[in-house]
Structure 1
C-alpha cells in the first residue's frame, strides 16, 4: 500500500469494504483497531470521510474495539442520496451492520457526525445499538452558536439563509483548485505547507489544536480524510451542509436512552455550550463530560476514556437486557 504522505487525490482510493443497500446505493467503509473486537461505528466529521476512523487505531486495538468508519452518501466512495436526512443515514448504518453480520454495536459521532449519532440514538432499538457517544458533536441547528468562532458561524448561517451563495462559492473554489492543479497536489506538499502555516500561527488555531496538528501522523490522517471527502466533487459537502442545517426530524427530548456527551471547554468549532444544551434537552438521559480540551485535541487526547466509556455503557446495557 502506498504511504499516505505521497498519495495524491488522483490515486486509486482504498476501502476495506462496501455494502450495497436495499435501494441499490453503495456505502464504503474502513476498519481500524482490533479486527475481531467489539464494533463501534465511527461517524466522521465535516469535511471528513471513512479514513478518519484510523485516528483511533492504536487505542481501539489496545482496548479490543473494532472501528467501522463509513463514508456518508456522496462522500468518498459512497453513492449520493438526494434529499437525504439524518434519519435516512441511521437506516443506512443498520443495513451496513446487517451486511457485516453485526447484531450489537455502538456509535460514535465526531464533530459533524454528531447529529447522525443523535438520529441513531432516536431510531435504532437499544437491543441492537448498545451505546452512543457524541465527541465534540454538532447539535441541531436550533441550538445556540454562542462560543463558536465567526468563520464557523458564517458557514452555518450561510447554509441556512444563503445556500445559493455557498453553492457558488464552493463551485468557484473547486474550479480554482482544478485550474491551479492544487486538487492534484501531493499530500507531502500540502503537509509541508500546513506545517509551515501552523508553525507561524497563521491558521487561527487555538493552542491545543496547534499542538495536535504539529504531529505528522495526525495531520496526514486529517489531510487524507478531507481529500477523500471531496473525491466526488463538492456536491457531497453541500449535501452535508444542507442536512446539518435542517431540522432533525425528531425532538431530542424524545430520545429514550442514555447518550454520552464529550465536549472541550476551549473548543471554538463546536463549543461546549452545544453539548450543555443537548444535555439539557436529554435530561436524565445525558451523561455530559467537559474536558480541558479544544476541538481536535479532545478527539486525540481523550480517545482512551471515550472508548472505555462506550464499552462500559454497552456492557451495562447488555447486563440489563
Structure 2
C-alpha cells in the first residue's frame, strides 16, 4: 500500500523562453517509457514520488512538474489553464521525448484535459485521469463535502489573506515545523473515521511513508507562499477555455473515479466521459478520493504504461475484454459469455462504461442469453448517452440498455466486493434536489459560508475579532543590510508605499539578495504573513553592506549605516505621519559588523568592540523612539557559522571565533532590550532569535527538494541559499513568519 522514499532527488529547472523557470522531477526508471504526471490541488511535482517504486518495477519514467508559483517554478501572474500545455511541450522537447502518456490526478484533471486538447498528436499517445476535476464552473461540485462545494464556489471571490489564514492553519501549511513534527501532528490529528469511506482514506493517509511523501509535496507547494495556490484554485473554478468535445477523437482516455469520493464527485468523471464519447472509458471503483490513488495506483500506472508502449485501439480492445464484435453472435457463444456478468454476490464492483460498439455487442448478448445481473452500478444507453438516472436491474437486463459491468479479471486481478444493497441507488446517484428545495439548499450553503467567516469570533475575543475587520493603517519601518534591502528609494515620490503597492516598488520586478526577481523576508512579511496586507506599508531603509557604524571599519565606507538610515527616517519628507500605535521599527543588523569585528580583532573574541557597537546601536534606537516610534522588533544575528562561505571555511579558528562573537552579540542585544524596555513607558519591544529558525530548516532540508543544505543558486529557489552568504526563498519565508509571530506577540498585529 505504501510507496518507497526515493534515495535521491532529481529536481531540476528548465528556463522557458519568457525567462520563467519550470521545475520538474523524475521518478521511477529514468530509461523507461515516459509518463508525465500532473499534480493535484494543492500539490507539487513531489507528488510523483508516490509512483517512484512502481515506476522502477514497471519500467516507467515518471516526469512530474510544478505549476507556476509552486515549488521550483516561477510565478506566472496572468496564466490560464491552456498555458500549461505550452510549458509542458517545451519540457518534453527539452527531454527529447518522442512519445509519452499523461496522468492527471485530482486538481490536475483540467490541466491534463488541456494537454489532450492542445498537445501534438504525434507525441501524446494516451491519457489517464484519476478522480480529476471536470468543468467546475459548469457542473458544480454536487456530491462533494459542503466545504468543497462552498470553497470552489467562493474561490473567485476569496481575498488572499483568507487563503493564507486557512492554509497556515493546516498541518501542511505549518512551514516553520520540522518534517518529523509535521508528520507526528498529521498522524495524531488525522480525523478519526466515521464511515466506510473515512476508514479507507484513514488507512492510506496514516501510512507513514504515504504521509511523509504527501507532507513533503505540500511543503514544496508553499515554498513561494500561499498565493499561487489561490491562483490555481481560481483557475479551476473558471471556464476551462476550451470544449472537452473538441479534444481529438483518436486519443484514448481512461477515467478512474470513486463512488465514495466526496472531494471530486463521480459526476465529474461521467461528464468528461459523456463529452469525450467513444474515446473515453470510465472505471468506477468502490473507493473514496485518497484511497483510489494509493490502492489502485499500480493498476492505472500499469495500464497507462502499457498503452504508451503499444497504443492499442479504442473501445473494448482497450480493456482486452472477451467480447466478440461480430454482427451476428451465436446463441451458444452468448451463453458462454453470460458468466461474465454475474449477480451481486459474486462481488464485482467496477462499472466499466463501454464504447458504443461494445454496448451494442453486449446488448445483443443480453437479448439472446437473458443474463441476470444485479451488480450494474450505472449504465449507458445503446446510443452512447448516459441514462438520466442509473438503471438498477432486478431481473433480466432490459434490451434498450447496454450492460456496463463486465469481468475484467485479466486486467484487474483484485476487485473489492461490492457493498451496495440490491435495489438501492448508489450513493453517488442520488437524484437532484427537487426544484422547490433549491432555494433552501442555497440558503444552507450561504449560512455555512457565513459561519466560516464568523468562526474566529468563537475562538477570539469579540473586540479582537471585530478589530480585525477595521481598516487600520500600519507602517513598518525597516532598517538593515543586504539581507533586508529591496533598493527602495525613500526620496522618490513616485515610489512611496500604497494600498496597491505596499512595498513602494512601483510594482516593478524586485531583485533582492533572496533571489533574482524575488522579494526577501520584508516582502513576504507584508504580502504573505500579515493578516491585512493591503493596510501594512513597508518603508525599507536598509542598504547592502550596512553596519551599525561604518566609521569603525575601513572596508565598508560610503554606505548608509544604521545612523544614516535613521537620519533618512527622521526626514519628515520621506515618511508618512503616523500614530504611535500604527508604526513599528524592525531592525536587522549584525552580519557585516560581526564579519568586520572578527577580522579587525585578529580572529579573537573581543567583547569591548561589541559593547562599543551596542552603544551605537541603541543610540539609534533612542533616536527612533524620539521620532515617535513605540513598537520595536529586533532580529538577532543569524547563525553565521552555518552559511556556506563560513561553514566551508578551512580556518576553523576563524569560524569558532565568529560563532562566539555572534552569540555574544545576541546576548548583549537581549540585555539591552530589557534595559530599553525598563527606561521607557508605553514601549512594546520584542526579539526574533534566528538561530533556531535557520537550524530547523538546515537540519531538515529534505522536504525542500534541494541537493543539500550548503548549495547556492541565484534563483533563490532550487537551493536554500542564493549565494554563499545570502539566504534563499525558504529561509526568507521562515524569517518573515517569525517576525510576523513576534509582531503579534507584542500586540502590534
Q: Distance in 2 between matches of 1:193 and 1:235?
A: 24
Contact 1:144 1:273 in 2 (8 A): no
Superimposed CA distance per residue, residues 169-196 of structure 1 (whole angstroms, 9 cap, x where no aligned partner) = 123456779xxx9421112112111211
Q: CA deviation at 1:126?
A: 1.9
Pick from 134, 148, 152: which aligns with 1:152?
148
Q: Paired residue for 1:171?
A: 164
Does residue 221 of the first structure (1) align with residue 217 of the second (2)? no
Contact 2:22 2:68 in 1 (8 A): yes
Contact 1:130 1:318 in 2 (8 A): no
Q: CA deviation at 1:140?
A: 1.1
Q: CA deviation at 1:304?
A: 1.5
Does residue 233 of the first structure (1) align with residue 221 of the second (2)? no
Q: Paired residue for 1:53?
A: 48
Q: Distance in 2 between matches of 1:319 and 1:139?
A: 25
Q: Paired residue for 2:580?
A: none
Q: Distance in 1 between matches of 2:179 and 2:20?
A: 30
Q: Paired residue for 1:121?
A: 116
* Root mean square deviation of aligned Cα: 2.5
Q: CA deviation at 1:287?
A: 1.0
Contact 2:35 2:305 in 1 (8 A): no
Pick from 243, 250, 255: which aligns with 1:251?
243
Contact 1:40 1:105 in 2 (8 A): yes
Q: CA deviation at 1:199?
A: 6.9
Secondary structure of 1:86's counterpart equals coil
Q: 1:168 to 1:23 in 2, by over 3 A?
A: same
Q: 1:200 to 1:207 in 2, by over 3 A?
A: closer
Pick from 265, 270, 273: which aligns with 1:271?
265
Secondary structure of 2:175's counterpart equals helix
Q: Distance in 2 between matches of 1:176 and 1:293?
A: 28
Q: Paired residue for 1:33?
A: 28
Q: Paired residue for 1:65?
A: 60
Q: Distance in 2 between matches of 1:207 and 1:215?
A: 12
- Greater C-alpha Rg: 2
Q: Paired residue for 1:315?
A: 309
Secondary structure of 1:184's counterpart equals coil
Q: CA deviation at 1:313?
A: 2.5
Q: Distance in 1 between matches of 2:130 and 2:48?
A: 13
Q: CA deviation at 1:22?
A: 1.3
Structure 1 residue runs without a partner (length 5+) = 5-13
Q: Distance in 2 between matches of 1:222 and 1:237?
A: 16
Contact 2:168 2:174 in 1 (8 A): no
Q: Distance in 2 between matches of 1:174 and 1:280?
A: 35
Q: CA deviation at 1:94?
A: 0.6
Does residue 194 of the first structure (1) align with residue 186 of the second (2)? yes
Contact 2:33 2:308 in 1 (8 A): no
Q: Paired residue for 2:96?
A: 101
Q: Paired residue for 2:134?
A: 139
Name whichever of 144-153 and 66-75 sits farther off.
Answer: 144-153
User: How many aligned positions are there?
Assistant: 304
Q: Distance in 2 between matches of 1:245 and 1:31?
A: 29
Q: Paired residue for 1:289?
A: 283
Secondary structure of 2:228's counterpart equals helix
Q: 1:134 to 1:153 in 2, by over 3 A?
A: same
Q: Paired residue for 1:300?
A: 294
> Relative to total residues, which structure has the larger strand share, 1 or 2?
1
Structure-to-structure mapping, 1:74-113, within 5 angstroms = 74-113=69-108
Q: Distance in 1 between matches of 2:21 and 2:233?
A: 21
Q: CA deviation at 1:15?
A: 5.1
Q: 1:173 to 1:293 in 2, by over 3 A?
A: closer
Q: CA deviation at 1:282?
A: 1.0
Q: Paired residue for 2:203?
A: 211
If the length of structure 2 is used for normalisation, what is the TM-score?
A: 0.39
Contact 1:40 1:108 in 2 (8 A): yes
Contact 1:33 1:57 in 2 (8 A): yes
Q: 1:130 to 1:121 in 2, by over 3 A?
A: same
Q: CA deviation at 1:143?
A: 2.2
Superimposed CA distance per residue, residues 88-140 of structure 1 (whole angstroms, 9 cap, x where no aligned partner) = 00111110111111121111111110000000111112211011111111111
If the length of structure 1 is used for normalisation, what is the TM-score?
A: 0.88
